[in-house]
Structure 1
């Protein structure tokens, strides 16, 4: 039996297959149709992308991690025009995501990053951190996949990514 190679690119989604013609005839078209039907966001250039590899009928997925920036927490605070504790939380989250490459972070990580923005951090911001986090989660600017763990939603990753240049 002969093997074939197929490579399809759909926006940020790259589907590659190498395997039997029998698998292509029986299954690959249905799998591709399922991916086309998904509501996948367009990944901004430089923010990361998704690569799906199909081989011998086995599907694996690898999602690119955040782009490494050289901006400091203070740089994000300046570029994001921080004026409040909630603003500084978002700048700290952007710093953790884009500079440190963390897709998930704990409250303690956010507080440490806030303190790194020395010209912006005030002790009262640390005292009010729980309230700021609660407000940001309710407004969907942060997500909580589990207790005491926070992530930036895609819209915020895209928005904060504009500050990288």
Structure 2
């Protein structure tokens, strides 16, 4: 039995297929038409630094592909809406900003620390000094997951809760 492979990339949208060769003749034209229409609705790739090399919080399009309004918030605004009180809270805030508004998945410690510093009204140098302890607190509370050696993400339950809280605060 032979297997066909195809990979299509249109801007930020990428699709990969591996399976029956018959699909390439029977289903591919229809798939290409659908992917083409979706590519107009997908946000362009996000650049996290501006021309001067300063970190920028990513902006999403005004409307999602489902036609829902999409909010764009900075780390400082997210921290205010989540009423950040501790270093662990600020880590969760940074992850929420990067994942929900930046579209990132699997964030490194360095990226988290950089985003924490963007919440200027809430960030304190002690948050970096106690970063390991604060990460352990968030992990133990199952608010974040460790995906790899240096890759972290919000837990699914925490992300749903934060999305609801941020939407309610609008």
Q: TM-score, normalised by structure 1?
A: 0.58
**Matches of 2:162 and 2:141, distance apart in 1:** 16
**What RMSD over aligned residues (CA atoms) do the two structures have, in Å?**
2.5
Q: Which residue of 1 aligns with 2:123?
A: 121
Give the structure with the larger strand fraction.
1
**Matches of 1:158 and 1:90, distance apart in 2:** 13
- 1:103-114 paired onto structure 2 within 5 Å: 103-114=105-116
**Matches of 2:88 and 2:139, distance apart in 1:** 11
**Matches of 1:148 and 1:136, distance apart in 2:** 15
- How many residues are paired up? 106
Q: Which runs of 5+ in 1 are unaligned?
A: 1-52, 59-63
Match of 2:95 among 84, 93, 111: 93
Asked if 1:159 corresponds to 2:161, the answer is yes
Larger radius of gyration: 1
Q: TM-score, normalised by structure 2?
A: 0.57
Segments ≥4 residues shifted beyond 3 Å: 55-58
Structure 1 position 104, deviation (Å)? 1.1
Q: Which runs of 5+ in 2 are unaligned?
A: 1-16, 24-41, 43-58, 61-70
